[in-house]
Amino acid sequence: MPTISLKHSILESIQSNHGISHNPENWMSRLSQIGCVVEKSDEKEVEIEVFPDRPDLLSHETMARAARAFLHSENQKPFLDVTDSGITMKVDKSLEHVRPVILGAIVRGVNTGETLEQKNEFIQSLMEHQEKLHLSIGRKRKFASIGVHDMSNLKPPFKVVTVPDSHEFKPLATDKKMSINQILSKHPKGVEYAHLMEGLDVYPVILDSNDDILSFPPIINGDHTTVTKSTTDFFIDVTGWDERSVESCLLLVCLSLAERGGSVESVEVTGWDEKKCLSPLGKAKQHRVPDRLISRILGISLKPEEIANAISKMGGELITSQAITDGVDNAERWSDLVVGEQEHVISMPRWRSDIMHPIDLVEDIAIGYGYENMPDIQSTVHLNAIPLESSNLHRRLRESLRSLSLQETQSLTLSCERDQFERVRWLNTGEVTRISNPITIEHTILRQRILPSLLQLLAANRHHELPQRVYELGTVVSNNINQNNFAWSCAEVDGGFTAAKGFAQAILRDLGANFEEIKWMPIEDNYGPWISGRGARIIVNEEEVGQIGEIDPIVSLEFGLRVPIHAGEFNIESLGRLIPDPVL
C-alpha cells in the first residue's frame, strides 16, 4: 500500500481556504474509516498508509477534500467544473501500437503559496502525488504516466507523434541535448523505465506548435517545461494503455490543482483513430443500487435520507430513490435490478476508479453511515455452498497422503533456478516465470516443481530424529500458467524405490485407477534427482502423470542431507482428467 507524508502546514493552508480548521488529532482518530492507516505523526507531518482501493487520497489536496466531506459533513460536488480552452491536441496514427491512450488538460490560476517555502512545498507535494499515481493506478507507468508542464513556456496547439531513437532534445534536469537512445541507456529515468519501450522502433513525443518536445512519455519531460516557483498555469498530459487508469490520473491531478483555486480547462484531443473528445470529462458517473442489496449486505433497512447523508460523506450524491421500471423480472444475483422493487440512483465522481460494482457503493454507504452505528446482530443470510470439482479431488488426495503417515506442509511458490534445476538435475518444463524485482537470490522465479521445496524443508529439520515424512499440495507455474501438483518426501533409514512405488500404488488405488492401464517406465540416468535405475515415470493412457524414486545421495548432499530419501511428484490436473472418480 502506498504511504504519503502530509505536512500539517499545507493541510492547514488548504482547509483554511474553506473556513475549516485543521485538527490533526481529529484527523488521526477517524482517517482509518475512509481507507487510511496513520503510521506515525509529529508536530510537522502525519504519515499515512492509503489502502489500494482509494487512490483518490494520495495528495494533500484530495485528502483534505475527502476529510471535509467525511469529518465536517461539507457537501462536495461529485463533478469537476471544466471549461473549454479552445486548445487542441492531435495524435498521430503511428501511436496506435506505441502508446494509444492520450488525454490532456489545462489548469490556470493555481495558488501555489505566498512564501518561497510554501511554493517549494507545493512543488514537492505535486511531484510526490504524481509518483504515487504512477506507482498505484499507473502500475509503474505501464498503464498510465503523467506529465506536468509550465503552460507559460508552451505554444499550443499540441501534437503527439513518433520519432526514431536518433531524435534529440534536452530532457528534464540536464544542460545538453540527448538522443532517445542515449536517454534510455544513460539517463537515470530512462534506464529505470526503458523496459516499457522494449520492442519499439519509434518512440512517442508530445510537441507544441514550435516543434519543441514537451514530453517523451512515459520516460521524462522536456527541460523547458519545468514547473518552477513562478508557475501558476499548468498543462497536464497523461498517456498509457488503459483508458480507465489514464482518465483517473488526469482527473486526480486536475482535482488537486482545482483545490488550490485553479480553473480546469479542457483540451480537444483527436485520437490516432480520428475520434475527437474533450479532455478531461468532469461530469459525474451515475450508479444504480438496488435497495435489496443494501439491506442484505448491511442487515438493516436504511431510509433514503440516511443513504443520502452517508453517501454525501463519501463525496457522492443521492440523485433519487425510485421504483425500478427497467430491469429483470426475477433476481438471479443480489445486484440485479428487479422491476417493481426500489433502487437508489447515486452520482459519484469519475475519479473514484475503485467503484466498479454496486457492492462498492454499499461499502461506501456503510462507511458513511458508520460501522459503529450498525446493529449488533448475527447474519440472517444463509448460502448453500457447492464444492468445486477440484476441491473434491484435493480432499481425496490429502486423505490418501495422510493415510500414509505423511504430514502436510506449505512452502513458498517462490524459488530459484539453482534449487529447481541445477541441484535436482531437472530441465525446465516450459517457460520460466521470473520475478522482475526479486528481494533475495533464493526467490527469483516461480517454482515448476514442489519436490525441491520439500528437500529444503528436510534439510532445515535434519537435526530432528527420523523418520520425517512430509507432503505438499500446492501451485506450480510453467509457461506462465498456474497448475497444481502434489509431492512427498520421506527421510527414513529403510526408505528406497520399493517404498516409493508402494506409496504411488496406494495413492493411485485410492483415486480409483485401473492398474492395467498404468505403465512404470524407467527414467534415463542423471535426469532428475533419482539414483540410476531407481526412478520411474508413471504413465496413464500414454501420458506422464508423475515421477517417483529414490533420491541420489549426490543430490541429497546438495541440500545437506545424508539419509536415504524416497519421493515422488504428480500433476493433479492430469490425474483428475485421466482417472475418473469411481464414486461418480
Q: pLDDT tens digit string along 329-347?
A: 888 888 999 999 999 999 9
Same fold across 285-371 and 389-578 = no
**What confidence score (pLDDT) does residue 32 get?**
67
Residue 105 has pLDDT above 90, yes or no: yes
Angle at 44 between CA 40 and CA 48, to 5 degrees: 35
C-alpha 422: how far from its chain's center?
33
Could you tell me what percent of the chain has a pLDDT over 90? 73
Q: How confident is the model at residue 8 (pLDDT cuts 50, 70, 90)?
A: confident
User: How many angstroms separate the CA atoms of 40 and 28, rounded?
Assistant: 9
Residues 295-319, mean pLDDT to the nearest whole number: 93
Residue 137 burial (10 A CB sphere; 0-12, 13-18, 19+): buried
Across residues 467-488, what is the average pLDDT? 94
More confident residue, 45 or 223: 223
Q: What's residue 457's pLDDT?
A: 94
Average pLDDT of the chain to the nearest whole number: 91
Q: What pLDDT digit, counting tens, does each position of 221-247 carry?
A: 999 999 999 999 999 999 999 999 999
- The residues, ordered by sequence, that sit 6+ positions from 108 with a Cβ below 8 Å of its Cβ are 151, 232, 233, 234, 262, 263, 265
> Residue 307: pLDDT above 90?
yes
pLDDT in tens, 422-460: 999 999 888 999 998 888 999 999 999 999 999 999 999
Q: Which helix (H) or strand (E) holds 36?
A: strand 36-41
Fold classification of 3-72 (topology level): Phenylalanyl-tRNA Synthetase; Chain B, domain 1 (3.30.56)
Q: What is the pLDDT of residue 1?
A: 62
What digits encode the pLDDT tens for the residues 524-576?
A: 988 999 999 999 999 999 999 999 999 999 999 999 998 999 999 999 999 99
Of 61-65, 448-452, 473-477, least confident by mean pLDDT is 61-65
Give me the pLDDT at residue 470, please: 96
pTM, entire model: 0.75
Name the amino acid, one letter, at 421: F
User: What pLDDT is stored for residue 311 in this prediction?
Assistant: 96
389-578 has which CATH code? 3.30.930.10
pLDDT band at 411 (very low <50, low <70, confident <90, very high): very high
**What pLDDT was estimated at residue 25?**
62
- Banded pLDDT at 258 (limits 50, 70, 90): very high
Closest among 393, 454, 449 to 584, alpha carbons compared: 393
Which numeric CATH code is attached to 285-371?
Answer: 3.30.56.10
Burial 369-388 (b: 16+ CB within 10 A, else e): beeeeeeeeeeeeeeeeeee
Q: What is the pLDDT of residue 267?
A: 97
Asked whether the predicted pLDDT for residue 22 surpasses 70, the reply is no
pLDDT at 318 > cutoff 90: yes
Strand 468-478 to strand 407-408: parallel, antiparallel, or no bridges (unpaired)? parallel
For residue 106, what pLDDT is reported? 98
Tell me, rounded to whole angstroms, the distance of Cα 384 from its chain centroid.
31
pLDDT greater at residue 331 or residue 278: 278
Q: Which SS3 state, helix, strand or coil, does residue 468 take?
A: strand
pLDDT at 21: 65
Compute the average pLDDT of residues 513-521.
91
What is the domain class of 82-279 according to CATH?
Answer: alpha beta
Stronger pLDDT, 388 or 205, i.e. the higher one: 205
Whether the per-residue pLDDT at 390 is higher than 90: the answer is no
Please give the pLDDT value at position 571.
95
Q: d(Cα 346, Cα 318) in Å, to the nearest integer?
A: 5
At residue 20, the pLDDT reads 66
Q: What is the pLDDT of residue 376?
A: 84
Place of cell 511428484: 569
Alpha helices in 285-409 (DSSP H): 291-298, 304-313, 358-369, 389-403
Q: What is the pLDDT of residues 180-201, one digit of tens each?
A: 999 999 999 999 999 999 999 9
Residue 89 has pLDDT above 80, yes or no: yes
- Per-residue pLDDT at 407 exceeds 90: yes
Q: Which has more confidence, 6 or 149?
A: 149
pLDDT of residue 47: 81
Cβ distance 206 to 148 under 8 Å? no
Report the C-alpha gap between 154 and 225 in whole angstroms.
7
Q: Is the pLDDT of residue 110 over 80?
A: yes
| pLDDT value at 253 more than 80 | yes
In angstroms, the CA 522 to CA 430 distance is 22
Residue type (1 letter), 328: V
pLDDT of residue 317: 95
Q: What is the pLDDT of residue 261?
A: 93
> Given this model, what pLDDT does residue 341 score?
94
Domain boundaries, given as residue ranges, for the chain: 3-72, 82-279, 285-371, 389-578
